[in-house]
Amino acid sequence: MKLLAVETATEACSAALFIDGEVIERFQLAPQTHTRLILPMIDSLLAEAGLAARDLDGLAFGRGPGSFTGVRIATGVIQGLALGLELPVAPVSTLAALAQDYFDRQTDTFVFSAMDARMNEVFWGVYRKNSRGFAQLMGQESVGSAASVAFEAVHGAGVGTGWRVYREVLSARLDGWVTEYESENLPRAGAIAVLGAEYFAAGLQVPVEQAQPVYLRDKVAKKESER
């Protein structure tokens, strides 16, 4: 399978190609420049692989949660490509991508994914590595204060920027359950691609009109004074 993935939900901008099990990726920390970087990244990847866009079998994107503007960029890019190429899409959680990136490198079976959501809150999700090696959500993804996060009684790694900003509160909340921390990690298109390919294999891809972002905050698009 040949699948293109993009991820722009945080200050990192990345794109990746999944080609029959192999992944190549472009990744750059570049706050507020995603719209300028993402299309050249895609062109660079296709050129390196010797592919044209019409050779792709599917698309995947980081559907959030994350920065409102960042999530919209990835969604818009993939929707545009999907319409033009008539391709199905796999929306992938950014929290799941954090967990998948960790599972691909480490041996732990569980991950407590936490991303700084600003406004004194975290985006939160608990994931287990399933029998096929892919991140599977336990419970629900949520947004709220670090002191209110819900978690399964499992031992796992704390991964993501939420652990950097709210380490003390989260550690107290999950006292004894966290085995290690990777607090600088950001979601990457490579992990979006890996999970996207798995979703395609499981028949979980959707038509372009159903490829929608997930913000978790109901009022994310409203002005600060309206919250």
- Report the number of distinct structural domains present in the chain: 2
Asked if 123 and 168 sit in the same domain, the reply is yes
Which CATH number fits the domain that encloses residue 144? 3.30.420.40
Find the domain containing 75 and state its range: 2-93+187-226
Under-50 pLDDT residues of the chain: 219-227
Asked if 50 and 158 sit in the same domain, the reply is no
Asked if 59 and 107 sit in the same domain, the reply is no
In this prediction, residue 224 carries a pLDDT of 38
Asked if 105 and 158 sit in the same domain, the reply is yes
Supply φ then ψ for residue 26, to 5 degrees. -115, 135
Asked if 108 and 172 sit in the same domain, the reply is yes
Assess contact for 192 and 6: CB atoms under 8 A: yes
pTM: 0.95
Sorted by sequence, the CB contacts under 8 Å of residue 192 that are 6+ apart come out as 5, 6, 7, 16, 60, 61, 62, 92, 97
Asked if 148 and 206 sit in the same domain, the reply is no
In this prediction, residue 162 carries a pLDDT of 98
Asked if 89 and 100 sit in the same domain, the reply is no
